[in-house]
Amino acid sequence: MTTGKVSGEESRLYNIAEEYKQRGYRVTVSPSPKRLPGFLSEFRPDIVAEGSDESVVIEVKSSGRVRGTDYWKKLSSVVQQHPGWRLELVVNDISTRHTPETIDKELIEERLQEGRRLAEQGMLAASLLITWSAAEAAMRLASKSHEIELPDLRPATVISRLYSDGLLERDEYDFLLDCMRIRNGVAHGFCEGRIRPAFLKRLQRITSRLL
């Protein structure tokens, strides 16, 4: 870390690191090659958080640093090949000051209905995108109604907080993290395998329960 004034990106990195430390992870910020697991030796992740149940490779995207598409694709593939590990991509736009308002329960239910219609028409990728948007909104509303404090609105943070506060079962926690990974792959044009109708129905059920 440089001396003097801390940049917005550095502050963001250390806030994320502190959040994972508070959740019991062993965290390394900007790890040197010697501190990285062997399978990550050719990458330079911003943070590595190692836990008893899962470990996370965290990369922060910002306008000041550019990673090629091949980098993200290869990193995602390598992480997926190691059970117990997941990749978390954080979009760091320090110029954004306004936090958009979450849609209300009625609009969430409308999106769930739209997701069901798309699935019935066989448009499963589109169904996943719209259903996941409803799920994220429902999770934030559930956090608010149960007075769960969220350090930020990243989906992984919200899912973890709902699980730690008892609103999600362990299998739901694992499932939603898997959904998040697949949704991100679809949204960014990566191949994440076939999306099954039963997968979407379970996401819809969890979303409806949280409402």
The whole-number pLDDT of residue 198 equals: 94
Query: What fold is seen in the domain 8-91?
Result: Trna Endonuclease; Chain: A, domain 1 (3.40.1350)
Read off the pLDDT of each residue in 145-173 and give the average, rounded to a whole number: 87
User: For residue 23, how far is the Cα from the chain centroid?
Assistant: 16
31 band by pLDDT with thresholds 50, 70 and 90: confident
196 band by pLDDT with thresholds 50, 70 and 90: very high
Angle CA(137)–CA(141)–CA(146) in degrees, nearest 5? 150
94-115 confidence digits (pLDDT tens): 444 345 789 999 999 999 999 9
pTM: 0.59
CATH number of 105-210: 1.20.120
The whole-number pLDDT of residue 6 equals: 45
DSSP the chain: --SSSPPHHHHHHHHHHHHHHHTT-EEEES--GGGS-GGGTT---SEEEE-SS-EEEEEEEBTTB---HHHHHHHHHHHHTSTTEEEEEEE--TT--PPPPPP-HHHHHHHHHHHHHHHHTT-HHHHHHHHHHHHHHHHHHHHHHTT---S---HHHHHHHHHHTTSS-HHHHHHHHHHHHHHHHHHTT----PPPHHHHHHHHHHHHHH-
User: Where in the chain are the domains?
Assistant: 8-91, 105-210
Q: Helices 170-187 and 155-164, interaxial angle, to 10°?
A: 170
The whole-number pLDDT of residue 164 equals: 85
Residue 200 has pLDDT above 50, yes or no: yes
45-82 confidence digits (pLDDT tens): 889 999 988 899 998 876 555 667 788 788 888 998 99
